[in-house]
Amino acid sequence: MAIESVENDTPLVDEAALDELRSIMEEEFVDVLQVFLEESVNLMSEIHTGFEEESENLTRAVHTLKSCSKNVGAMRLGGIAEKMEACLVKEDMAAAKTNLEELQDVFTQSHVLIKQCMQNDMHKVA
């Protein structure tokens, strides 16, 4: 199945992946999510700059966003980044850039859900 068709069926944030991460990380779970939120903002900035300047760091930033997104259950964000990475590997900058707006939108939506998850977890502990 192509990545593009998977994205539409993929949840913004996979609760099962978050539950698994929570069970593995225990007390550090919220910290891991916080690091993701901070680092992903930096990566998105690098991605935008990478497209503007056609930077060599663009592929690395997209790859890193893909991986860390999937690690915290932000599967749709990871899927879009994966699609962009495949275009960049083929050196098709124009095709990769067509996904930038969607990447930004899903990034914003994913951040909202992950912040809610963090708040819920912090309230459980308090």
SS (H, E, C) 42-101: HHHHHHHHHHHHCCCHHHHHHHHHHHHHHHCCCHHHHHHHHHHHHHHHCCCHHHHHCCHH
**Residues 38-56 pLDDT 10s:** 999 999 999 999 999 988 8
Out of 40-44, 54-58, 83-87, 98-102, pick the least confident. Answer: 54-58
- Predicted TM-score (pTM) of this structure: 0.88
More confident residue, 124 or 107: 107
Structure confidence at residue 9 (pLDDT): 77
User: What is the rounded average pLDDT of the residues 78-100?
Assistant: 96
User: What is the rounded average pLDDT of the residues 97-102?
Assistant: 96
Structure confidence at residue 124 (pLDDT): 66
CB 11 within 8 A of CB 76: yes
Structure confidence at residue 4 (pLDDT): 38
Does the pLDDT of residue 57 top 50, yes or no? yes
Long-range pairs for 37-46 at CB < 8 Å and ≥24 separation? 37/111, 37/114, 37/115, 39/68, 40/65, 40/68, 40/69, 40/107, 40/111, 43/68, 44/103, 44/104, 44/107
| Domains of the chain, earliest start first | 3-125 (1.20.120.160)
How would you label 46-58 residue by residue, b for 16+ Cβ within 10 Å and e otherwise? bbeebbeeeeeeb
Does the pLDDT of residue 108 top 60, yes or no? yes
